[in-house]
Amino acid sequence: MIDISLIRNNPDLVRENIRKKFQDAKLPLVDEVLELDRKNRDSIQRASDLRAQRNKISKQIGVFMKNGQRDEAEAAKAQVAAINKELPELEAQEEEYAAEIRKRMMVIPNIIDESVPIGRDDSENVENERFGEPVVPDFEVPYHVDIMERLDGIDLDAARRTSGNGFYYLKGDIARLHSAILSYARDFMIDRGFTYYVPPFMIRSAVVNGVMSFAEMENMMYKIEGEDLYLIGTSEHSMIGKFIDTILDEKDLPQTLTSYSPCFRKEVGAHGIEERGVYRIHQFEKQEMIVVCKPEDSMMWYNKLWQNTVDFFRTLDIPVRTLECCSGDLADLKVKSCDVEAWSPRQQKYFEVGSCSNLGDAQARRLGIRVKGADGKKYLAHTLNNTVVAPPRMLIAFLENNLQSDGRTRIPKALRMYMGGKEYIG
């Protein structure tokens, strides 16, 4: 959510930003906010004038009574009574205007960074840089579920019987590999100075509305029936929510956090072979990184965060690239975002394994996350998040890139201590 003063002072900038995101249907919202804001400020000013008038008249009543001017005193009392009747109406108007303004402000997109490429959708995202040489082996790389089944590491049929499509049982060395990757990711981020968290896996609607747009919530999150609770789709939701309605001391910034959680999401893709198996699922686990910082530091942290993910994947011998999200592919709260994509030798293309986002002060404005500066003045923090790793999707890249010609899977050196010293599985 942007600052309303930006709409007041530079509505053309806000309109241009909406056009850059190809959301022209939202253009009328700018004029609606301006009109509602004008009416609201008129109402506030009217209420302020009436309170001042009431105070002045109330003082006069005492003088009239003291001087025996009963008629004048009664007339003044009638004026006060009329003011007292009008003020609650104005206060109710203020609440109504404020609610209508907020409703519109919640769907006006955040101002994107100047460096964001302009494009309609993810087909126009721009490759930034590649890390590691993508290799296509001289033997056939099976589909990831086939690799897992040959290693007796997955049971999708049983999961369909217990839970339906979009779920899985991992077992044996594949289950151990899954846990090993998460443990390694935890320690990798701790070694980079991040504080480790295990957050709540359910959050209230006030937090949901603070961290994401309504459309994202409807498409992603599971609601707990009969309670004001949602299952988290990523631990970012809980971790940013941790700071709701708080004032942080500037000297305590940045807050650099890494969190583990299961994640629950509604969507399951069925749009091709690469989206079967464990690519799009209802339930998975993830290691996340979150930063709360000063506004002037947020772009520096943005670059550090995506680099952390690149470095993590490279220690596991997985080639990756970064893909800059174009304007039309950015969620409304985001200022700038890039995906980290891993190389798939089987498909001979890259696929998404993580996403890094700078949200500016949008989440902080919604959640009331403020910072007290050294001069005592308060300002809104900036928030960022990025995926360290999200198995089991990451297992696809791991298994394909570390598969050997004899069917075994090599365990890179960095992961062996988490796998009991094993150099291979299978």
User: What are the tens digits of pLDDT across the range 293-331?
Assistant: 999 999 999 999 999 999 999 999 999 999 999 999 999
Opening angle at CA 388, ends 359 and 361, nearest 5: 10
Mind listing the domains of the chain with CATH numbers? Answer: 4-105 (1.10.287.40), 122-425 (3.30.930.10)
Q: What percent of the chain has pLDDT over 90?
A: 85
Nearest C-alpha neighbor of 360 from the set 23, 8, 100, 6: 6
What is the pLDDT at residue 269? 46
Amino acid at 48: S
Q: What percent of the chain has pLDDT over 70?
A: 97
Average pLDDT, integer, range 26-54: 95
What is the pLDDT at residue 190? 98
What is the pLDDT at residue 218? 75
Higher pLDDT, 166 or 111: 111
The tokens describing 373, both together, are 């500066």
Order of all β-strands in the sheet with 230-231: 202-203, 230-231, 222-223
For the chain, how big is the Rg over CA atoms in Å? 28
Which CA distances in Å does 12 have to 16, 57, 64, 106? Answer: 6, 44, 55, 18
- 52, pLDDT greater than 90: yes
HSE (side-chain half, CA atoms, 13 Å) at 337: 26
What is the pLDDT at residue 272? 42
- 270, pLDDT greater than 50: no
The tokens describing 180, both together, are 């090993």
Average pLDDT, integer, range 241-263: 97
**For the ranges 160-169, 235-244, 298-307, 356-365, which has the lowest average pLDDT?**
160-169
Which CA distances in Å does 390 have to 100, 144, 235, 394? Answer: 39, 16, 11, 6
Average pLDDT, integer, range 46-64: 90
Mean residue pLDDT of the chain comes to: 93
What is the pLDDT at residue 419? 97
Any bridge partners for residue 289, and if so which? 258, 386
What is the pLDDT at residue 248? 98
What is the pLDDT at residue 252? 97
- 80, pLDDT greater than 50: yes
What is the pLDDT at residue 402? 96
Which CA distances in Å does 102 have to 95, 98, 343? Answer: 10, 6, 43
**Phi-psi sector, 132: left (phi>0), alpha (psi -120 to 50), beta:** left
Q: Tens digit of pLDDT for each residue in 177-220?
A: 999 999 999 999 999 999 999 999 999 999 998 998 767 777 78
- 403, pLDDT greater than 60: yes
What is the pLDDT at residue 69? 87
What is the pLDDT at residue 164? 87
What is the pLDDT at residue 266? 86
In three-state form (DSSP H/G/I as H, E/B as E, the rest C), the secondary structure along the chain is CCCHHHHHHCHHHHHHHHHHCCCHHHHHHHHHHHHHHHHHHHHHHHHHHHHHHHHHHHHHHHHHHHCCCHHHHHHHHHHHHHHHHHHHHHHHHHHHHHHHHHHHHCCCCCCCCCCCCCCCCHHHCEEEEEECCCCCCCCCCCCHHHHHHHCCCEEHHHHHHHCCCCCCEECHHHHHHHHHHHHHHHHHHHHCCCEEECCCCEECHHHHHHHCCHHHHHHHCEECCCCCCEECCCHHHHHHHCCCCEEEEHHHCCEEEEEEEEEECCCCCCCCHHHCCCCCCCEEEEEEEEEEECHHHHHHHHHHHHHHHHHHHHHCCCCEEEEECCHHHCCCCCCEEEEEEEEECCCCEEEEEEEEEECCCHHHHHHCEEEECCCCCEEECEEEEEEEECCCHHHHHHHHHCECCCCCEECCHHHHHHHCCCCEEC
pLDDT band at 275 (very low <50, low <70, confident <90, very high): low
Q: Tens digit of pLDDT for each residue in 116-153?
A: 999 999 999 999 999 999 999 999 999 999 999 999 99
